[in-house]
Amino acid sequence: MEHAITIASGSGSGELSAVLHYPKQARGGKGESGSCRWPLIVVCHGFVGNKIGENRLFVKAARAFSEAGFLVIRFDYAGCGESTGEYGGEGGGLDAMIGQTQRVLDYGLGLDCVDANRVTLLGHSLGGAVAVLTAARDNRVKSLVLWSAVAHPLNDIVGIVGKQAYEEAVALGAVDHRGYRLSAPFFESLTRHQPLRQVRQFRGDALLLHGTLDDVIPVDYCFLYQRVFWLRSDGQCDKEVILQADHTYSADKSAQQLIAKTADWLTYLEKRKMEWHDWTI
């Protein structure tokens, strides 16, 4: 079952367009009251993307995860997809995206059917960096799934839009990129965050996935993230490299592998938590 919803963005009167996917089966977790509650997954899309994804990747993933017993929220950042607001403007940088992700977490955790101890952020590309940065400051996030995640926000986004466009934004105040007005403050916001450093503040488990044919964000980032995750004193990190997959997993085989490996890991995590819960009782 799927429902279109809107969530207050937390910046003025803007609203984030989202879709809520209810699970097809219960995962058996229980909240403090003893009632059954579902694990939550929030999907964070990438740079100038939307909640549907390339070749409907996020739709396919959300439906697969809900089939496996997870409640999923996929949403459009402000100014993207069907959300109101401005993307790339003075108030539309990384800090705003982190804040919007937290508003979606607020909404999800406000549902009485969600287990607050089983919350996952799943981020693709720039959304992966946002997921890391959000998890580093918000301990409500218990696990992370990163698909082809950005590791160096400024360099990576400049690599996408081009150095000339970036210099134009700095000199003139803004530049047009595929219909999005990217401001100088937007680019400046990218310099304030270093996901590879801030990830050490996250204590939960993580899964990293990346395609070998990604020509947008290097597959090497997957190994860099893994190394940093391993330096933490708490939390585990697993990695999967998908052969012949591009940045958006546009081939059907690549998308199927990506979703299946993610679902398997999430299910394993759930099983481990349940076994640990039973052992402690």
Average pLDDT value for residue range 14-29: 82
**pLDDT 10s digits, 205-214:** 999 999 999 9
Residue 212 contacts residue 219 (beta carbons within 8 Å): yes
Strand, helix or coil for residue 149: coil
Closest by CA to 46, choosing from 142, 178, 139, 167, is: 178
> Tell me, what's the pLDDT at 276?
63
State residue 26's pLDDT score.
Answer: 55
Neighbour tally for 268: CB within 10 Å: 13
pLDDT at position 52 over 50:
yes
Residue 35 has pLDDT above 80, yes or no: no
pLDDT for the residue numbered 12: 64
Query: For residues 29 and 183, what is the distance between their CA atoms, to the nearest angstrom?
Result: 45
What global pTM score does this model have? 0.94
pLDDT band at 31 (very low <50, low <70, confident <90, very high): very low
Letter string b/e over residues 199-226, b meaning 16 or more CB atoms within 10 A of that residue's CB? beebebbbbbbbbeebebbbbebbebbe
Checking if the pLDDT of 58 tops 60, the result is: yes
- 26 and 69 in contact (C-beta within 8 Å)? yes
DSSP state at residue 143: E
Comparing 26 with 38, the larger pLDDT belongs to 38
Comparison of pLDDT for 281 and 202, the residue scoring more: 202
**202 conformational bin, left if phi > 0, alpha if psi -120 to 50, beta if neither:** beta
216-221: list long-range contacts, CB under 8 Å, 24+ apart.
216/125, 216/148, 216/159, 216/160, 216/247, 217/125, 217/148, 217/149, 217/150, 217/151, 217/156, 217/247, 221/148, 221/149, 221/150, 221/151
Q: What fold does the segment set 2-28+36-280 form as a domain?
A: Rossmann fold (3.40.50)
Report whether pLDDT(29) > 60. Answer: no
Per-residue pLDDT tens over the stretch 226-281: 999 999 999 999 999 999 999 999 999 999 999 999 999 999 998 887 776 544 44
DSSP state of 121: E
At 7 the pLDDT is 97
Average pLDDT of 91-114? Answer: 95
Tell me how far apart the alpha carbons of residues 75 and 58 are, in angstroms, rounded to a whole number: 10
